[in-house]
Amino acid sequence: MKTKTSSFGVSKREGHDSSIFYERDLYKNLTKDMKTIAAIIPNRKEDKFVENKPPEEWTDQIYCYTSEDMFHVPNDSVALAFTSPPYNAGKDYDENIDLAEYMRLISRVGAEVFRVLIPGGRYVVNIANLGRKPYIPLHSCFYTVHMNVGFLPVGEIIWQKAKGASGSCAWGSWKSAKAPRLRDIHEYLLVFTKESFSRKDKGESDISSQEFMEATLSVWNIAPESAKKVGHPAPFPVDLALRVIRLYSYKGDIILDPFSGSGTT
> Where do the domains of the chain lie?
19-256
Could you tell me which residues come within 8 angstroms of residue 105 by beta carbon, excluding any fewer than 6 positions away?
A: 68, 97
pLDDT in tens, 134-165: 888 999 999 999 999 999 999 999 999 877 55
Give the predicted TM-score (pTM) of the model.
0.83
For residue 224, give the DSSP letter.
Answer: P
pLDDT of residue 232: 83
The H-assigned helical ranges of the chain are 19-22, 30-36, 99-116, 138-149, 209-215, 227-230, 238-248
Distances (CA, A) of 175 to 38, 163, 170, 240: 37, 21, 12, 35
Successive 10-residue mean pLDDT values, the chain, 265 residues:
65 67 73 60 60 91 94 96 89 84 94 96 95 89 93 94 63 82 90 94 95 96 87 86 97 96 88
> What CATH architecture is 19-256?
3-Layer(aba) Sandwich (3.40)
For residue 196, give the DSSP letter.
Answer: -
Q: Which helix (H) or strand (E) holds 116?
A: helix 99-116
Closest to 110 in 3D by CA, of 147, 139, 140, 77? 147
Degrees, nearest 5: CA angle 126-43-131: 40
Alpha-carbon distance of 128 to 236, in angstroms, equals 12
Cα dihedral sign for 232, 235, 237, 242? Answer: negative
Strands 117-127 and 186-193: antiparallel
Phi/psi class of residue 120: alpha, beta or left (left: φ > 0; alpha: ψ in -120 to 50)? left
Alpha-carbon distance of 246 to 90, in angstroms, equals 32
pLDDT of residue 161: 87
* C-alpha neighbours within 13 Å on the C-beta side of residue 72: 16
Closest to 25 in 3D by CA, of 136, 111, 185, 108? 136
pLDDT of residue 43: 47
